[in-house]
Amino acid sequence: MERSCTSSWRLWTLVAAPLALVPPSRAGQSLKQREKFYAAAGATLLAAIFFVVVICTHRANSVNVTFRAMKNWKLAALMAAMFLAASALSQTATPADAIALEEQGKFPEAADAWRTVVRKNPRDAAAFASLGVVLSKLEKYDEAATAYRRAIALNPKLPGMQLNLGLAEFKRGHFQAAIVPLSAALRADASNAQARTLLGLSFYGAKRFAEAVKYLQPAAELDPGNLELHRVLAESCLGAKKYSCALEEFRQILQQNPDSAAAHVLVGEALDGMGKTAEAIAEFETASKAAPQEPNVHFGLGYLYWKSHQYDQAKSELARELSIDPGHAQALAYLGDIEMKRNDPGKALPLLEKSVSARQDIRIAYLDMGAIFTEQKRYPEAIAALQRAEKLDPTEPDAHFRLGRVYRAMGNKDAAQGEFAKVRELHEKADDVASKMVVPPAPVHP
């Protein structure tokens, strides 16, 4: 019986032992292939141990034989531990493994390999950088940004990391977060055109238009055929109220694409900003003919007609905008204002209320609602509407004037006097600013 146990043990060790001693070749094998090999090998070895122990203990008729079987079990357990250690060592990925997987285009496997490398070497800046590159190729920009930040923390002078981090944040749509690393990349290499352009685009995305212009202008000059870049520069100029710059850029775009409705709209906005309302109307009319179903074109034209006191034309264009987008809050607000100007508050109020239910930042709607509620002696509602209008633009005196009238109608003389005092203060401040200006201020946009 003892010989039978020993024979069984020797038979299974002949089968299983080589698995622990001879690791498979790494050449041409992925981590997953090696993992499958060791899983199979481990299963075989454990089966061997189980087989020997069960047979030996089953056949044992004496304490002595059982003791020997237990010694065999201890030997098997020791061998299993040695096998598992060898297996774990063989499965540890190296930078060479990760690079080889990248070269084969196996980016998910390469990412796993780099993760293993950085777990084993958590202070390896280059490994974190490589992990970030692979994750970026997989469009996993959140994880890539984390890896790049770790690489920079470990080695701030690692080449290209600030640019890579800025690009990852930009592609995440985190424009504000992209600005710091891209600025650092540009400081490190002032001739880096990619960093300069990305920095300008990040300022544009963050709505920091004046700073966007600073970086986009040189980039656009170096790439005159890039219409998209010139469009972003033009919109940045417009946002920064640099109307001459915006007009020049949009006209260049129109030279290459004269049927661009969007370019005509933006030229119109630039002209309006320069106080050239009639020319702006002509641009919007051209845009509406080129793209009659384009959103916001009819609203823009309607607003310019409203501004020029051409209320019939304005009403027609605003109605056309609402036929495209029935919930267009600004179109509803200006239609309501036209009805107010025609002394029809019954038609105006539903339009205004629908407007502010869609958007809470349209000042003219709150002003008109305040006037209607005042006439209807709905004073608390009038006060709420006018206070909202005042918060939307504290520099304008009209909300304070109307609030003064409401308080006076309510018999609250002190509150009324306070509002009228604010009206005088704002007028004096505006006069002082105007006297110091070389050119007249740009017109107010809706």
Tens of pLDDT, residues 148-160: 999 999 999 999 9
pLDDT value at position 173?
A: 94
Residue 139 falls in which region: left (phi positive, over 0), alpha (psi -120 to 50) or beta:
left
295 C-beta neighbours (distance < 10 Å), count: 11
- Map residue 437 onto helix, strand or coil: coil
Residue 430 pLDDT class (50, 70, 90 cuts): confident
C-beta of residue 159 within 8 angstroms of C-beta of residue 192: no
* For the ranges 79-83, 305-309, 441-445, the one whose mean pLDDT is highest: 305-309
Residue 356 pLDDT class (50, 70, 90 cuts): very high
Asked which of 80-89, 134-143, 391-400 is least confident by mean pLDDT, the reply is 80-89
Tell me the two tokens of residue 432: 């002082």
Alpha-carbon separation of residue 165 from 108, 158, 187 (angstroms): 20, 12, 15
Asked which of 47-61, 332-346, 348-362 is least confident by mean pLDDT, the reply is 47-61
**How is residue 191 annotated by DSSP?**
T
Amino acid at 34: R
Distance, in Å, from the CA atom of 199 to the CA atom of 177, rounded to the nearest integer, reads 11
Residue 4 pLDDT class (50, 70, 90 cuts): very low
pLDDT value at position 399?
A: 95
Has residue 223 got a pLDDT over 70? yes
Rounded mean pLDDT, 312-316: 97
What residues contact residue 246 under an 8 Å CB cut-off, 6+ apart?
234, 235, 237, 238, 266, 269, 270, 273
Q: Which residue has the higher pLDDT, 224 or 49?
A: 224
Residue 24 pLDDT class (50, 70, 90 cuts): very low
pLDDT above 70 coverage of the chain, percent: 76
pLDDT value at position 10?
A: 46
Rg (CA), the chain: 37
**pLDDT tens-digit readout, 255-295:** 888 888 888 988 898 899 889 999 999 999 999 999 999 99
**pLDDT tens-digit readout, 152-191:** 999 999 999 999 999 999 999 999 999 999 999 999 999 9
Rounded mean pLDDT, 422-436: 77
pLDDT value at position 188?
A: 94
Helices (H), ranges, 155-296: 161-171, 175-188, 193-205, 209-222, 227-239, 243-256, 261-273, 277-290
- Map residue 360 onto helix, strand or coil: coil
Q: What angle do helix axes 329-341 and 297-307 make, rounded to 10 degrees?
A: 30
Q: Which residue has the higher pLDDT, 49 or 327?
A: 327
**Mean of per-residue pLDDT scores for the chain:** 82
Q: Which residue has the higher pLDDT, 128 or 10?
A: 128
pTM comes to 0.61
Question: What's the number of CA atoms in the CB half-sphere (13 Å) around residue 39?
Answer: 6
